[in-house]
Structure 1
Amino acid sequence: MILKNFEVIVLNSHGVGQFCNIKRLPALGETLRAWNWRIEEDGGKGTNVSVALGRLNIKTAYIGKVGNDLWGDLGEKWMQDAGVDTTYMYRSDEVATGTGLVMVDEDGRNTIVDGDSSSEALTVEEIRTAIDHMKHSKIFITGFAIPEALAIEGAKMAKSHGITTMLNPSPLPEEPMGDLSFIDYLVLNDVEGKFLLDIPQNTELTAHEIIDRVREKYHCGSVIMTMGSKGSVGLDAEGFWQVEPTSVKAVDTTGAGDGYLAAIAANLIQGNDIRTASEWASKYASLTVTKVGTLRAYSPLKEVDEFILGLQ
């Protein structure tokens, strides 16, 4: 077996995003006019995180499955251009690479409809082969844009090799996740936090109460919850911490969460603790929302450092 050494492994979906602009988010049952319909450099959660990491100079490898089609070719090109290894981006004639629709309103907010993922056809054995060949990597990142069972099984495999594991439970899981003691960092937003607790969204709980209950329920090492313009909070064995928001003019929030996830991993790779990493990631995500697009919003490390320096 020839082993490959990487800093971060990403197991999640690739799919090409179609975008349109709308005046406001539609109400249930409403037909709303859209304009500027286009195909953007948006590759779904796995591609987004991988490209963001690559541009932050992190040695990254991607695991997923795509079709032998134009959308798969685009994903491979985008990742390779960012320096990401795509050895385990499995190609198959039996699947079509997925697409999604992102609707962006006049305030830069977005609603995303995810199509079927070609990673539905990814197998446990293919994941095992990839992780076994990269078992000396440092961080493993996954999420639920691929079948939840595959993401969880991949995280368990990575943890068995001593790799630090990160999970973003998005899109929201359709089945109970059970014990997540093999997850070192559970990264979610406030909507996902309440969903994972099986409580209504209008339940009045503080952010600290939400993540405390999530960590107690799922037994993961740390829980980090983003709250958009309200910043983020975290909880680990040492206690709570809070990150204040960075004030910027948001023009497009698409992909900010994926960038945040990548930025935390990149900062941990640099040797920082999770509190420092989440502060840096918050500033990184703030930079992404000042730009239109997804992959185009993931800046190289030098530009990020200059942006953060300018905030001081």
Structure 2
Amino acid sequence: MNVTVVGSINIDTVAVTDKYPKRGQTIFGNKIEYLPGGKGANQATAVARLGKSANMIGAIGNDIYGDKLVDSLKESNVNTYFIKRSDSLATGTAIITIDQTAENTMLVLKGANEDLNINDVENAFNKIHDSEVLLVQMEVPQDTVIRAMQLAKEKGMYVILDPAPAEGITIKALDYADIVTPNRQETYYMLGIDVVDIDNALMAAETFENMGIKNSIIKMGDKGSVVYQSGEWEYIPSISVEAVDSVGAGDAFAGALACAITNGCDLVSAAHFATAVGALKVTKLGAQMGIPTIDEVNDFCKKKGLTHCYLKESSV
């Protein structure tokens, strides 16, 4: 069994600096990197590096960046058969600035991601017969995302909606999701609730339940997360690490969650595993290049005295 990801594929232009420039100001940064990214590609990479088969459905341009991104996915053993080459749009680009606190700002130019259409996902799903989980985000057209979710439900797949970025969210997607996993910004954008603590996270989860989605993981950054299932909930604390780059942490979390669910873990155990993977990701630069392998996760958990339900080896 495997995981199918429908989402964006981008080249990330990453500038590292001690502090952000003020509006109209010019300052000197520390370094720049050109790295593979895109929320969909990041999540597919996480799935593959954690030991599961991953299908990537997305679109790139007919350009050198598209070639680089496909090669990167193949190196991580992601199935790239369903990636479309756009004849009219260039490969998507994210311009990212990271400061000394590992916080980031991001400007995304969708490019070829906008060329992923309903026919593309329908053609792909006609050839996919062994997926248990679908992962979707909101960096490709909304109609395409919703159609993918509909097709997944028809096949009996478990649908995880990572409603990111906030600007791309459509509430209609909640109709087809088995679970939604928003962070603080996305929760505020959708519900107007600022999840600064457990009480507010529970309020958000209950609001989602009233909207028809019974399962949610409300992420509060370094304050941990709340796993909510039909009125029952559990708090998952964050894991303290020395952060280098927070870009892609949510994608690593989503990919890990999908892997754990595919492996038969319950949702709380899956969230603990995903939290460990997300924490380890922020210790490395690169949304995609910083995603750990399952062996790295096992070593990390062993050093931290953590256990998790998703094991490649019995080393934890």
Per-residue displacement from partner, 1:199-238 (whole Å, max 9, x unpaired)?
5789996211122112322x12411111111111111125
Taking the TM superposition and a 5 Å limit, the aligned residue runs for 1:96-175 are: 96-173=90-167
Match of residue 312 from structure 2: none
Q: Which residue of the other structure, out of 187, 199, 203, is the alignment partner of 1:209?
A: 203
Does the 8 A contact of 1:98 with 1:117 survive in 2?
A: yes
Structure 1's 271 and 20: CA in aligned 2 closer, same or farther, altered over 3 A? same
Secondary structure of 2:82's counterpart equals strand
Match of residue 18 from structure 2: 23
Structure 1, unaligned stretches of length 5 or more? 1-5
Deviation of 1:159 (Å):
0.9
Structure 1's 173 and 135: CA in aligned 2 closer, same or farther, altered over 3 A? farther
User: Which letter maps to 1:172?
Assistant: A
Structure 1's 31 and 191: CA in aligned 2 closer, same or farther, altered over 3 A? same
Taking the TM superposition and a 5 Å limit, the aligned residue runs for 1:181-260 are: 181-198=175-192, 206-217=200-211, 219-237=212-230, 239-260=232-253
Structure 1's 11 and 189: CA in aligned 2 closer, same or farther, altered over 3 A? same
For structure 1, which segment, 284-293 or 171-180, has the greater mean C-alpha deviation from structure 2 after superposition?
171-180
Deviation of 1:30 (Å):
4.2
Match of residue 8 from structure 1: 3
| CA–CA separation in structure 1 for the residues paired with 2:8 and 2:97 | 20
Deviation of 1:149 (Å):
2.1
Structure 1's 290 and 132: CA in aligned 2 closer, same or farther, altered over 3 A? same
| CA–CA separation in structure 2 for the residues paired with 1:289 and 1:280 | 15
Per-residue displacement from partner, 1:79-138 (whole Å, max 9, x unpaired)?
111111111101132221111111000111111111123121122111111012114310
| CA–CA separation in structure 2 for the residues paired with 1:116 and 1:101 | 11
Secondary structure of 1:260's counterpart equals helix
Residue 297 of structure 1 pairs with residue 278 of structure 2? no
Does the 8 A contact of 1:136 with 1:163 survive in 2?
A: no
For structure 1, which segment, 199-208 or 284-293, has the greater mean C-alpha deviation from structure 2 after superposition?
199-208
Residue 88 of structure 1 pairs with residue 82 of structure 2? yes
Deviation of 1:251 (Å):
1.5
Match of residue 3 from structure 1: none
| CA–CA separation in structure 2 for the residues paired with 1:200 and 1:137 | 35
Residue 58 of structure 1 pairs with residue 52 of structure 2? yes
Q: How many residues align?
A: 305
Does the 8 A contact of 1:13 with 1:117 survive in 2?
A: no
Deviation of 1:148 (Å):
1.9
| CA–CA separation in structure 1 for the residues paired with 2:51 and 2:303 | 21
TM-score normalised by the chain length of structure 1:
0.91
Q: Which residue of the other structure, out of 172, 178, 184, is the alignment partner of 1:178?
A: 172
TM-score normalised by the chain length of structure 2:
0.90
